[in-house]
Amino acid sequence: MSKPFEKTMKFVGWYRFMLVLILPVAALAADKEEATYILRPNDVISVAVYEEADLCVQVRILKTGQASFPLIGPVQISGLTISAAAERLRELYAKDYLVDPKLNISVTDYATEFISVIGAVKSPGQIPMPVSGHIDLVTAMTSCGGLAETADANGIRLVRASGAISTYTMDAIQGASGRTQLAAGDRIIVNQSAFIGKTFAVLGQVSKPGPLPFPVKGKLDLVNAIAIAGGLTDLANPKKVSINRKGTVILVDFKAISQRGDRPFLIEPDDVITVAERLF
């Protein structure tokens, strides 16, 4: 072996040795984000111990939170950051087996945890938790495609894994409440509108008289109700419109209401609207 080559190899060996020495003693984590990741059951981790090939292993964290390592056996590491877990292993190896061990822990396969979104959404199901562990309410709702047409937009329930329940409107979720952070095991439940299957009727001088489905959003005024029924006929008397509400008859001037526009007359499910005929 030539002297220049020998010197080069010695330098490479020295460089590698110094590289290990300057890395953090607790863990040689790839980056800060990975080092602060909290280990959990079903994560698969790789442990590399410098100059100890027999101690380099890949193991899965059990549901108990333990993983088994050469020489030191089962160790509780679930709930620890990667850095803290590496420090724990270093201490155990240093106690009885190695002098100043240098080791690295990395996650080779992250355990998948979920948030459930069920009910009246376009794509109900489970949403995997990001590796970062951060997902908010509006992101979860967006991931499931948003509300179905039959959804109750005012009664969206967030059921925490702990059992706590909060109720939101879709408008609130699209605002500040949308930043509410979720955790694995949380469920978002979107009920169907209570107005599904409800009807109202428009009779008399309209183009399409008869029973009609009540809007699932639960909001309907007299002007829109008559528009849904095709509008007034040429024979209609717009000043004489009655609403039968559970046996109580309310007489209104449809012409005045439609011209005013600022105070709509609200319709309820099962209302029967009758438009009178003009008298010539």
**Domains along the chain with CATH numbers:** 23-109 (3.30.1950.10), 114-192 (3.10.560.10), 199-277 (3.10.560.10)
Gyration radius of the chain's alpha carbons: 34
Phi-psi region of 199 (alpha: psi -120 to 50; beta: other; left: phi over 0): beta
Place of tokens 């449809």: 254
How many Cβ atoms from other residues are within 10 Å of residue 165's Cβ? Answer: 11
Q: In the chain, pLDDT over 70 holds for what percent of residues?
A: 87
Q: How far is CA 113 from the centre of its chain?
A: 12
| Better-scored residue on pLDDT, 24 or 242 | 242
Tens digit of each residue's pLDDT (9 = 90 or more) over 144-188: 999 999 999 999 999 998 899 999 999 999 999 999 999 988 999
How many Cβ atoms from other residues are within 10 Å of residue 7's Cβ? Answer: 10
pTM of the entire predicted model: 0.60
Tens digit of each residue's pLDDT (9 = 90 or more) over 254-279: 999 988 877 899 999 999 999 999 88
Q: What is the pLDDT of residue 35?
A: 66
Strands 187-192 and 114-119: parallel
Over range 234-257, report the average pLDDT: 94
Tens digit of each residue's pLDDT (9 = 90 or more) over 62-110: 989 999 999 999 999 999 999 999 999 999 999 989 999 999 999 998 8
